[in-house]
Structure 1
């Protein structure tokens, strides 16, 4: 439907309310339910949303190091725009109309911290170069029996996985909660978030889903709606879905791999298509070189939490170095050779805790940087185990080091603007400060009695 038809559809349907949501800096959807008359008033204008959504952390604790907003500004309303192109209905919630919003304007007066607006700016750069960026994100996540209240009452450490044991690609385990499994596939498809594949991964109660590919902004929309949609559907079945990168040190972490390719807008041709002898195209080489070159400077956009770095460990199915290889799952970037539709790069650094808008913006901006600067792919492909390559450049191993790298990086500021880098790295430093003052179970067990 075009925008006129969408507005008419909302006006004429029986629903009296509409939901809309936007992404905060952590990739958490924040939103409202409004009367449809209010929606019709603001649909082609803008709507006020308190800018505290970019002034607090994942637990609604206000930053004390944000220049963008805070007690010093009084937390005013920012002007959000509902994107009518994101219209869909929520099949598990009475088919209520739903939209995504962001803080961008036609005049380019975007709110610095808005992740969706940032991705739109990077996408515009690709468009200006004649490229159509095709992306998709796949997620692994753990499922537990219980409710949010039960989870809080147990202090988040007495969890019952949906199924026992390590049983990846099981045809058996999904039958235990088949209604949930089938609802994920079917309801998300009706929500215009089609899943390409859904299966168990190795670990108790863990699933993996690959979302059907799309152009980059729509792909990021689908990824963030997938995460929120899974959690809502899980609630309906008495299940808690966790996209934490590494919830248990003895179990595999949860990835959020990014699949990506560039297509020529004029010819609709995949510019990453390999040669007949498997050689990488020049475009793919420069794009891949950009991904690797920028990676250490923008790592927090892929790995944004304290916990992200618990996943990035050797032998844990997650990369630790600036490496690439053909169909190699131990490297940071995996080259996937297929036909024209399926030839692509897989960025394997992001975990399931990543913000899809920021992770995709990071990848696309890095790849375009490589193309614009005609970077050469000087890093040789990894054959075999990347963890055993001791000469490979290691990625920063914690959020503080990664954030300091990004804050000082001229590359990060060139790609995303100084204002965004300042705000984003301040939020990551806040996260580190909050963690640093916490007394953990590890400390209690290690020091309480014996030290």
Structure 2
């Protein structure tokens, strides 16, 4: 629909309600429901939205180390703008109209802390270079026979998985909760989040879904909305889903792999493909890969943003630990996929399912473009075999604290994303590190309580 059709549709809709949402620095969807008349009045001029959403963490605890907002500013309203191109209707809420929005600063420039605006700026750089980036994301997640109340009563200990056993790619297990499985596929499609595939993964109550690829911003919108939509659909079935990177040490982690390619805006061809090369990869794709390998240690918190992210990034757990690439190799950080000229793409396997998709995709695209702009050569050979053993090119930081320190002091990160974003984002990650350092864990209780 174009603008006039969308506004006419809202006028004719039987419900007077409209839902608007923005995405905070952690990838959490924050929003409100407004009356249709209110919405029609803010379409052009924008609306105020309390900037506390960039002044607190995912548990609504106020930061004490950020400058963009806080007690020192009084938490005023920030200016937000509705993006009409994001119009959807929520099928499990009686087709309630839904829109995403972006934050801007006092002068109308993008707010540095706004993840969606950050990704839009990186996409603009790609278009300026003549490229149309195409992206998609795939997610793994666990689902439990729990609700918010039962989880709270258990203190989040030993939640009951939706299904038992290690049933990867199981037709049997996907039919066991068939109504939930079918609703995921059908209602996500109706919410304009089309899936390429949906299947069980190895582990109790775990699924994997691959979202159809598309233009980069639309791909990120789909990925962000996918995570919340899955949780809402699960709740309707008396279930709870989690996108934690690693919820139990003896089970596989959950990935959020990002697939990406660049297309020539004039010829409409995939510029990652080159039928005349030995591998089928173009020199431009090689520079894109080289850029990601070079930049990864500088921007890792955008792909591994939580304390828990680094419990997934361990050897032999289907997640990378080394700065490596390979052709169809699932043990490396970057996996080149070359099935055909149109489907030639790069899969960044570092990302877990706990990422903010806007930030993860911005990190992938900006670092790849860095390699192209700098003319980097892919001198590092493709790994054949076990990528965990190839450590001579470097390893990923082992903790959020180490990764955040590297990003905060990185000139590369600041050149890619600007001081405003890097300062705010790394401060939010430092807060996360401090919050964890103050916690007394079950592991500490079991290890020290009796013996010391």
**Mapped contact 1:167–1:202 kept (Cα < 8 A):** yes
For 1:264 and 1:106, locate their aligned partners in 2 and report how far apart those are by CA, in whole Å.
Answer: 36
Q: Could you list the runs of 5+ residues in structure 1 that have no partner in the other structure?
A: none
For 2:105 and 2:380, locate their aligned partners in 1 and report how far apart those are by CA, in whole Å.
Answer: 40
**Mapped contact 1:22–1:100 kept (Cα < 8 A):** yes
**Mapped contact 1:130–1:265 kept (Cα < 8 A):** yes
For 2:399 and 2:275, locate their aligned partners in 1 and report how far apart those are by CA, in whole Å.
Answer: 39
Q: Which residue number corresponds to residue 403 of structure 1?
A: 404
**Mapped contact 2:328–2:337 kept (Cα < 8 A):** yes
Q: How many residues align?
A: 451
**Mapped contact 1:11–1:40 kept (Cα < 8 A):** no
Higher mean alpha-carbon deviation, 244-253 vs 275-284, is at 275-284
Higher mean alpha-carbon deviation, 426-435 vs 373-382, is at 373-382
Counterpart mapping for 1:263-412 below 5 A: 263-276=263-276, 277-412=278-413
For 1:58 and 1:353, locate their aligned partners in 2 and report how far apart those are by CA, in whole Å.
Answer: 12
Displacement of 1:15: 1.2
Q: Could you list the runs of 5+ residues in structure 2 that have no partner in the other structure?
A: none
Q: Which residue number corresponds to residue 99 of structure 1?
A: 99
For 1:271 and 1:248, locate their aligned partners in 2 and report how far apart those are by CA, in whole Å.
Answer: 41
**Mapped contact 1:81–1:105 kept (Cα < 8 A):** no
Q: Which residue number corresponds to residue 126 of structure 2?
A: 126
**Mapped contact 1:258–1:347 kept (Cα < 8 A):** yes
* 3-state SS of 1:286 partner: helix
Displacement of 1:390: 3.5
Query: Using a 3 Å threshold, how does the CA distance of structure 1 residues 435 and 215 change in structure 2: closer, same or farther?
Result: same
Displacement of 1:274: 3.7
* 3-state SS of 1:430 partner: helix
> For 1:20-73, what per-residue CA distance to the aligned partner results, in whole angstroms no more than 9, with x for missing partners?
111000000000000000000001220100000000000000000010000000
* 3-state SS of 2:253 partner: coil
Q: Which residue number corresponds to residue 48 of structure 2?
A: 48
Displacement of 1:4: 1.5
Displacement of 1:158: 2.4
Q: Which consecutive aligned stretches of 4+ in structure 1 deviate over 6 angstroms post-superposition?
A: none
Q: Which residue number corresponds to residue 224 of structure 2?
A: 224
**Mapped contact 2:78–2:104 kept (Cα < 8 A):** no
For 1:253 and 1:34, locate their aligned partners in 2 and report how far apart those are by CA, in whole Å.
Answer: 38
Counterpart mapping for 1:202-281 below 5 A: 202-276=202-276, 277-281=278-282
> For 1:222-277, what per-residue CA distance to the aligned partner results, in whole angstroms no more than 9, with x for missing partners?
00000000000000000100000000000000000000000000000000114353
* 3-state SS of 1:381 partner: coil
**Mapped contact 1:271–1:281 kept (Cα < 8 A):** yes
**Mapped contact 2:18–2:97 kept (Cα < 8 A):** yes
**Mapped contact 2:324–2:390 kept (Cα < 8 A):** no
**Mapped contact 2:322–2:391 kept (Cα < 8 A):** no
CA RMSD of aligned residues (A): 1.1
Higher mean alpha-carbon deviation, 229-238 vs 278-287, is at 278-287
* 3-state SS of 2:93 partner: coil
**Mapped contact 1:274–1:343 kept (Cα < 8 A):** no
* 3-state SS of 2:65 partner: coil
